[in-house]
Amino acid sequence: MLENLKLEGDIKLKSALRNTIFKDIELYLVVYFIHANDCNLFMKALKILLVSLILLNFTSCKDDKPVEESTPKESVISTYYFIRHGEKDRSNPDNRDPELNQDGLGRAIRWERVFSEIDLNTIYSTDYERTMMTAAPTAVSRELSIQNYDPATINVDDFKIIHEGENVLVVGHSNTTPDFVNKMLGEEKYPAMDDYDNSSLFIVRIIDDKATAIRLKMD
């Protein structure tokens, strides 16, 4: 708005200046013609006036073009949902890859209900039974395949670029989940989760390359 006011003021100023110049030249020509009484000189002076008029109008039109306002860039929003797997079967301490117990299966179904209102684009899970089983109900209901990832080798910067503007679910473990969130934030904000914490939901939102996070309990 200020630019438009300035432009309008410039136009009025140039118009007033042009009118003043023309009046001065006209007065000069009349006086000159009366005193000189020389028609040839008067015609030469009149030609100079016409040329001046053309040049001044050309310059005015060139400068009076409205200033184009730049269109604001639309913000890009990326949202990542990080959860730990559901409760696992602890009956065999030597089993390195246990499945979910009944509580864990129930939690996986509840997670599906939580994410049912979210337009997920991609679902990630580590390559373990308990994490894959946790992600399965949500993947089936959204007709998405589960993509495996290795928390130790995943490139966070590439991950952000690939999923810019998307909604992504990531299923991990008590140590890898907060660690992944911290890497997304670029700071050590969250410690490792308690071994019996299967209900925390970390939401990381990136808007124009600025990341923020919140932690919710979904019990």
* Residue range of the domain that includes 127: 77-217
pTM beyond 0.75, yes or no: no
The total number of structural domains in the chain stands at 2
pLDDT at 215: 99
In a domain, 85, yes or no: yes
In what order do the strands lie in the sheet containing 122-125?
Answer: 146-148, 122-125, 167-172, 77-84, 200-207, 210-217
The answer to whether the beta carbons of residues 201 and 82 sit under 8 Å apart is yes
Same domain, 201 and 120: yes
Q: What is the pLDDT along the chain (219 residues), one digit of tens a residue?
A: 434 444 444 445 445 445 554 555 554 444 444 445 555 555 555 555 555 555 555 455 555 555 566 667 789 999 999 999 999 999 999 999 999 999 999 999 999 999 999 999 999 999 999 999 999 999 999 999 999 999 999 999 999 999 999 999 999 999 999 999 999 999 999 999 999 999 999 999 999 999 999 999 998
Return contacts of 98-106, CB within 8 angstroms, 24+ apart: 98/129, 98/130, 99/129, 99/130, 99/133, 100/129, 100/130, 100/133, 100/134, 104/130, 104/133, 104/134, 104/198, 105/133
pLDDT at 2: 39
The answer to whether the beta carbons of residues 99 and 45 sit under 8 Å apart is no
Same domain, 105 and 197: yes
Q: Is 175 helix (H, G, I), strand (E, B) or coil?
A: coil
In a domain, 68, yes or no: no
Same domain, 160 and 199: yes
In a domain, 70, yes or no: no
Same domain, 81 and 41: no
Q: Is 210 helix (H, G, I), strand (E, B) or coil?
A: strand
Same domain, 51 and 159: no
Q: 102-114 vs 129-142: helix axis angle to the nearest 10?
A: 40
Same domain, 89 and 194: yes
The answer to whether the beta carbons of residues 177 and 202 sit under 8 Å apart is yes
In a domain, 72, yes or no: no
Same domain, 82 and 130: yes
Strands 77-84 and 167-172 come out as parallel
Helix (H) or strand (E) holding 90, with range, is none
CATH number at residue 130: 3.40.50.1240
**Domain boundary pick from 63, 96, 114:** 63
* 76 vs 149: CA distance, rounded Å: 25
Alpha helices in the chain (DSSP H): 2-36, 39-63, 102-114, 129-142, 156-162, 176-185
In a domain, 210, yes or no: yes
Same domain, 199 and 150: yes
Same domain, 85 and 158: yes
In a domain, 88, yes or no: yes
Same domain, 13 and 91: no
Same domain, 170 and 144: yes
pLDDT at 65: 55
Same domain, 51 and 102: no
pLDDT at 72: 72
